[in-house]
Every structure is written in C-alpha cells, then in structure tokens.
Amino acid sequence: METIKISEVTKNFQEGEHVVHAVNGVDITIENGEFAALAGPSGSGKTTLLNLIGGLDRPTSGEISIDGTQLSKRKDNELTEIRLRKIGFVFQAYNLIPVLTAYENVQFVLQVQGVPEREHHDRIMPILEDLGIKGLENRFPTQLSGGQQQRVAVARAVVGNPTIVLADEPTANLDSETSKSLLDLMRRLNTEKGVTFLFSTHDPMVIERARRVIRLRDGKVQADERKN
C-alpha cells in the first residue's frame, strides 16, 4: 500500500540570476511499513525533498501525495493539518520542551490534534510502556538520561498515529553509540509496530541500518536499493 507518492517533483530556488534545481524530477513511492533513507552528499537535495514531503515547503512542479491526499493544492492551514495528523518528526538532539514533563511532551501532540483529554492517558501510556519509559512520565527532560530522552522524542513522533515518521539527519549531533541506539529504537518500531520511517542522512552507519536506500545526486534519484 502506497504511503507516499512523489511524482515528477521539482523544486527550484532562485539565487541571484541563477536557478538552482534542488530537486529535479524525482519519482519515488514509499510503501507502508518501509524503513528508508534518503542518502547523498550535502547539496544533493535530500533535506529539500524531506521538507517537501513534510509539507514544510511546496514543490515548483509535480505532485506529492500522502495516503492519497495531494499536497500541492492545499492551503497553508490545510498543510499544517496534514502535517499534524499524518506526519511525525524526530528532530536532531530530540528538541524536547524543557518545562514539560515526559508525559506532557508526548501529550502536546494530542492536544494540538484536538484529541479529547480523556483519551490521552490511554493513547500515551501504551506507547511509553512499549518504549520502556513507563514510570518516568513525571520527569522533566533534564531529569532523564540521554537514552530516556531519546525514547520520549520517538514516543512524541508516533503518538499521533502518523502515516510516516520523518527524520532529517537524526544522528547528526550524536556520538556513534547514541546514534546506534536511536536507530535501533526506530527499527524496532518499524518491525514490531509497522511504523513507516523515512530519514535523510549521509552517515554510513545510518545507511547500513536502512532497509531501503534512495540515493540522490544533484536533485535526482541516482539509485534505489532495497535490501533483503
């Protein structure tokens, strides 16, 4: 089942008198349950493409659809709504809100989604339990270890039942051991719960863990490798 369909997408930026083709005619289909990486050197267009998929930017031409919903014809507030309901984000360095507890950091997504408060507990606690952080819900981020913060960040990304979780260079600011544990955590959610992940990276360690590697170069898909 198609989760994301990217058809003939281009994204151009005007730099002075020059037009930069950051994404240049890309066709990709991401299926439900994939664990995929957009790989390529700096400037290859992976972050731009991730921003387009996440509805943070609009393509110059072409179409992106998520769960059959086309993004190009949507107004900004509709894009925000799609982003809120269909996409989860894992940020570099987690970006937890320091004045909120672990529970409240995860709950924040449900509040913004407008999920009735009486349902919050039943939605949040199973995820915290799955991720092994049940019992820590009243702690603030500074009272959590690095690994626990990591799990809260991932819980926040998946609590809204997104169609796909996007991560832009998720290991960029992490040491190799912490990177490994974050990747393991995302991989477990993928294999055990079927959560779809797409991340951009140029880290060989991340690419080794991905089940599908889409290589970009000069804004185009150079190769699309699927592993067994």
The residues that touch another protein, with contacts defined as CB under 8 A, are 39, 130-136, 138-139, 142-143, 145, 147-148, 177, 184, 187-189, 191-193, 202-205, 207-209, 215, 217, 222-223, 227-228
Minimal distance, residue 186 CB to another protein, in Å: 11
Please report how close the Cβ of residue 22 comes to another protein at its closest, in angstroms. 20
How many CB atoms are closer than 10 A to CB 15? 8
Which amino acid is residue 84, in one-letter code? L
Cβ distance to another protein smaller for residue 27 or 132: 132
Cα angle 213-217-223, degrees, rounded to a multiple of 5: 40
SS3 of residue 59 by DSSP: coil
| Alpha-carbon span 224 to 39, nearest angstrom | 10
Q: Closer to another protein at the Cβ: 31 or 193? A: 193
Residue 57: exposed, middle, or buried by beta-carbon count in 10 A (0-12, 13-18, 19+)? middle
Closer by beta carbon to another protein, 13 or else 41: 41
CB of 172 to another protein, least distance (A): 11
Residue closer to another protein, measured from CB, 74 or 139: 139
Cα–Cα separations (whole angstroms), residue 148 to 74, 133, 137, 157: 37, 7, 10, 14
Whole-number minimum distance, CB 7 to another protein, in Å?
Answer: 25
Q: Which is closer to another protein, CB of 115 or CB of 136? A: 136
> Shortest Cβ distance from residue 143 to another protein (Å)?
5
Place of tokens 């994404």: 23
